[in-house]
């Protein structure tokens, strides 16, 4: 009986407790729902981000190459818009900004954003701005606009900006709130430095309660020289026009690049790639038609770091260094001073299926030449003889890739690590690579794999080898300084790691003297440089003419040194399908060297077709 009484008491208490709980829940969820929802909304803060100004970019002399201009924009606070006032704001926009279509205005009000951008007010009377701000749904925020004062001149180096994709948002966190990211060039490479922290507009219940100011990006200074950049571009343009006038080609000649590098530091004082583009086109959005036109001409490619070409005879400097360092010379020569008979062809009985006869570019030959004369006249036979010596001595052994090892010491087939994105590394072929390609890219190699003939092609910069102008420039710089380091454009990257290469002062002098022979009487570039008079006795260089597959015209190369007695600059010029290096790339480089030596500039004139 007692237990039954206790059980009834517990049940009664439980029932009372349940009624109380359900009553409170009813009041909370039903009767007070509207009031609570309003309290939650009042406590809910929203944030609108205003992009930060990107850091400015300056050349070595303080000329501004990229800047951010603050401009006033009218915004509509959509939290302040309702059915009662929507018509009023529609009419205000229509009346004050007649260039905005009715369909665009309708889209404004459909936006899910907190604030919607209406128009740039910088071209309008300030009184309009003041008058519109009397209406609570209008706000004016200053937005940074990227501006490139020199238009196309630095397009490939500086790059351009655009809306970030998902990958870019992951890689560059500031781009999420700034809604902007560097797409190419220095704008991309230094994105985390140049971009700033966006301003935060904090809104509660539709009202702005706080504005946290933005933090602008950091300015960067470059080692580029605007005056030199102008001369380089003009010279390259003149050379391309001459190439089109003097060669009948399947394709119009329109692509080329020039790199001007300081020898002592590795600074890139000028880098030009053609065709180019105006990065200002991307600031407010480029049309699909214009984008396709630029893309068709490969205008977005920076051929100075992305153009992969066989280097032709400018690569002979590698064999030149190898010969002197290893004491490997043609069969009948004991040292660099010994002469051989450089006939118009070379015959050799390869037993691996390689070509048996190799024709020099000069059918009648070059007569008696030693190493210096072989560089001066770009005698292929002399260097083929060196390749044969390597093949006979080391073929099918661990030392077979001696030439490749020397080239890789100079940076061929590896990134230079210049401070620009999307650099290409190129290829220096060897037996191992051919074996790999037999599986992965069989269309590039014969079933027989690596042959002696491939080494013959490689030593004169032909065959499967590809390289970029900046690699060639850095390789020559390494040979002239004994230091291998990364070239750089911004002072942000000036402290790069230097690797010492075993190159003697005696070798450097020997090389400079032989490069000087190329621009003097009898040298392959003499016709292009003779207009400089006695100055040619203090200038050096190396021509290169690289054959292309099929019926494409040859690619034109020249590597120039501004002075033999006091070398300061290396100038590397390439014109894709531009023909002979001595006829096109050499005179382009000559005009640039005139500028570097502060001499009177003369027009680019078609040189002599040698190689």
**Per-residue confidence (pLDDT) for residue 465, from 0 to 100:** 97
User: Would you place residue 20 in the very low, low, confident or very high pLDDT band (cuts 50, 70, 90)?
Assistant: very low
CA distance 523 to 514: 10
The tens digit of pLDDT for each residue in 162-182 reads 999 999 999 999 999 999 999
The tens digit of pLDDT for each residue in 201-249 reads 999 999 999 999 999 999 999 999 999 999 999 999 999 999 999 998 8
User: Average pLDDT for residues 267-293, to the nearest whole number?
Assistant: 93
The tens digit of pLDDT for each residue in 118-155 reads 999 999 999 998 999 999 999 999 999 999 999 999 99
CA distance 349 to 409: 31
Q: What's the token pair of residue 457?
A: 């092609």
Q: Across all residues in the chain, what is the average pLDDT?
A: 91
381 burial class (0-12, 13-18, 19+ CB within 10 angstroms)?
Answer: buried
User: Average pLDDT for residues 530-544, to the nearest whole number?
Assistant: 97
Is CATH 3.40.50.300 correct for 226-596?
A: no
Percent of the chain at pLDDT exceeding 70: 92
Q: Is the pLDDT of residue 490 over 60?
A: yes
User: Average pLDDT for residues 82-100, to the nearest whole number?
Assistant: 95
Query: Which residues have CB under 8 Å from 418's CB, separation 6+?
Result: 268, 305, 470, 486, 487, 488, 489
User: Would you place residue 343 in the very low, low, confident or very high pLDDT band (cuts 50, 70, 90)?
Assistant: confident
The tens digit of pLDDT for each residue in 58-71 reads 999 999 999 999 99
Q: Is the pLDDT of residue 38 over 60?
A: no
CA 58 to chain centroid: 18
- Spell out the domain ranges in the chain: 2-43, 47-221, 226-596
User: Average pLDDT for residues 499-503, to the nearest whole number?
Assistant: 92
CA angle 423, 427, 432 (to 5 degrees): 140
**Per-residue confidence (pLDDT) for residue 352, from 0 to 100:** 67
User: Average pLDDT for residues 582-589, to the nearest whole number?
Assistant: 97
Report helix, strand or coil for 224: coil
User: Would you place residue 527 in the very low, low, confident or very high pLDDT band (cuts 50, 70, 90)?
Assistant: very high
User: Would you place residue 12 in the very low, low, confident or very high pLDDT band (cuts 50, 70, 90)?
Assistant: low
**Per-residue confidence (pLDDT) for residue 349, from 0 to 100:** 66
Q: Which residue has the higher pLDDT, 361 or 591?
A: 591
Q: What's the token pair of residue 560?
A: 């120039």
Is CATH 3.30.70.360 correct for 47-221?
A: no
User: Would you place residue 2 in the very low, low, confident or very high pLDDT band (cuts 50, 70, 90)?
Assistant: very low
Q: Is the pLDDT of residue 19 over 50?
A: no
**Per-residue confidence (pLDDT) for residue 423, from 0 to 100:** 98
**Per-residue confidence (pLDDT) for residue 494, from 0 to 100:** 74
Query: Which residues have CB under 8 Å from 339's CB, separation 6+?
Result: 333, 368, 369, 370, 373
**Per-residue confidence (pLDDT) for residue 21, from 0 to 100:** 53
Q: Is the pLDDT of residue 23 over 70?
A: no
Instruction: Write down the H helix ranges in 67-223.
Output: 86-96, 102-110, 126-132, 155-158, 166-171, 174-178, 185-189, 191-194
Query: Which residues have CB under 8 Å from 575's CB, separation 6+?
Result: 236, 239, 240, 243, 253, 255, 256, 555, 556, 584, 585, 588
**Per-residue confidence (pLDDT) for residue 22, from 0 to 100:** 52
Q: Is the pLDDT of residue 432 over 80?
A: yes
Q: Is the pLDDT of residue 611 over 90?
A: no
**Per-residue confidence (pLDDT) for residue 9, from 0 to 100:** 53
Instruction: Fill in the DSSP letter of residue 356.
Output: S
The tens digit of pLDDT for each residue in 255-270 reads 999 999 999 999 999 9
User: Average pLDDT for residues 187-213, to the nearest whole number?
Assistant: 96
The tens digit of pLDDT for each residue in 292-341 reads 999 999 999 999 999 999 999 999 999 999 999 999 999 889 999 999 99
Q: Is the pLDDT of residue 459 over 50?
A: yes
Q: Is the pLDDT of residue 274 over 80?
A: yes
Single pTM value for the model? 0.89
For residues 529 and 283, the answer to whether their CB atoms sit within 8 Å is no
**Per-residue confidence (pLDDT) for residue 320, from 0 to 100:** 98
């Amino acid at each position: 009986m007692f237990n039954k009484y206790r059980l009834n008491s517990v049940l009664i208490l439980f029932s009372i407790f349940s009624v109380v709980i359900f009553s409170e829940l009813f009041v909370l969820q039903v009767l007070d729902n509207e009031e609570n929802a309003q309290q939650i909304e009042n406590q809910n803060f929203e944030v609108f981000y205003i992009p930060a100004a990107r850091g400015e970019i300056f050349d070595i002399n303080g000329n501004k190459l990229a800047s951010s201009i603050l401009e006033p924009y009218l915004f509509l606070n959509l939290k302040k818009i309702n059915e009662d006032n929507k018509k009023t704001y529609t009419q205000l926009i229509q009346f004050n900004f007649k260039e905005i279509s009715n369909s665009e205005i309708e889209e404004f009000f459909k936006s899910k954003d907190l604030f919607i951008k209406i128009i740039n007010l910088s071209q309008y009377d300030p009184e309009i701005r003041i008058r519109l701000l009397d209406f609570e749904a209008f706000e004016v925020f200053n937005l940074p606009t990227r501006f490139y004062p020199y238009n196309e001149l630095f397009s490939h180096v500086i790059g351009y900006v655009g809306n970030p994709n998902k990958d870019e948002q992951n890689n560059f966190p500031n781009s999420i709130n700034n809604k902007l990211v560097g797409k190419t060039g220095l704008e991309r490479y230094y994105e985390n430095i140049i971009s700033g922290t966006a301003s935060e507009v904090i809104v509660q219940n539709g009202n702005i309660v706080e504005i946290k100011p933005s933090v602008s990006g950091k300015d960067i200074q470059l080692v580029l020289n605007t005056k030199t950049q102008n001369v380089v571009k003009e010279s390259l343009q003149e050379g391309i026009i001459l190439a089109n006038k003097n060669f009948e080609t399947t394709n119009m000649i329109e692509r080329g690049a020039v790199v001007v590098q300081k020898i002592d530091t590795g600074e890139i004082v000028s880098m030009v790639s053609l065709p180019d583009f105006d990065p200002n086109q991307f600031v407010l959005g480029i049309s699909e038609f214009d984008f396709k036109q630029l893309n068709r001409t490969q205008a977005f490619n920076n051929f100075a770091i992305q153009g992969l070409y066989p280097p032709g005879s400018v690569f002979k400097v590698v064999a030149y260094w190898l010969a002197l360092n290893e004491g490997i010379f043609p069969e009948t020569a004991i040292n660099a001073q010994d002469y051989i008979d450089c006939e118009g062809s070379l015959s050799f009985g390869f037993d691996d299926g390689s070509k048996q006869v190799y024709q020099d570019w000069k059918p009648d030959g070059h007569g008696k030449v030693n190493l210096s004369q072989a560089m001066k006249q770009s005698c292929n036979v002399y260097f083929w003889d060196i390749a044969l010596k390597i093949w006979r001595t080391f073929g099918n052994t661990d030392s077979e890739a001696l030439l490749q090892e020397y080239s890789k010491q100079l940076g061929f087939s590896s990134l230079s690590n210049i401070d620009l994105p999307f650099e290409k590394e190129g290829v220096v072929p060897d037996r191992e690579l051919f074996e790999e390609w037999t599986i992965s890219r069989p269309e590039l190699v014969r079933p027989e794999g690596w042959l002696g003939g491939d080494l013959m092609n490689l030593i004169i910069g032909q065959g499967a080898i590809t390289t970029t102008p900046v690699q060639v420039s850095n390789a020559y710089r390494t040979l002239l300084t004994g230091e291998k380091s990364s070239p750089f454009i911004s002072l942000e990257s000036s402290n790069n790691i230097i690797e010492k290469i075993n190159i003697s002062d005696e070798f450097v002098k020997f090389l400079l003297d032989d490069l000087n022979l190329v621009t003097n009487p009898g040298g392959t570039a003499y016709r292009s440089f003779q207009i400089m008079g006695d100055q040619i006795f203090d200038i050096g260089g190396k021509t290169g003419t690289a054959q292309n597959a099929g019926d494409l015209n040859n690619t034109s190369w020249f590597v120039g040194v501004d002075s033999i007695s006091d070398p300061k600059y290396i100038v590397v010029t390439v014109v894709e399908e531009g023909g002979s290096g001595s006829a096109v790339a050499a005179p382009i480089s000559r005009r640039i060297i005139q500028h570097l030596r502060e001499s009177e500039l003369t027009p680019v004139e078609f040189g002599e077709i040698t190689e």
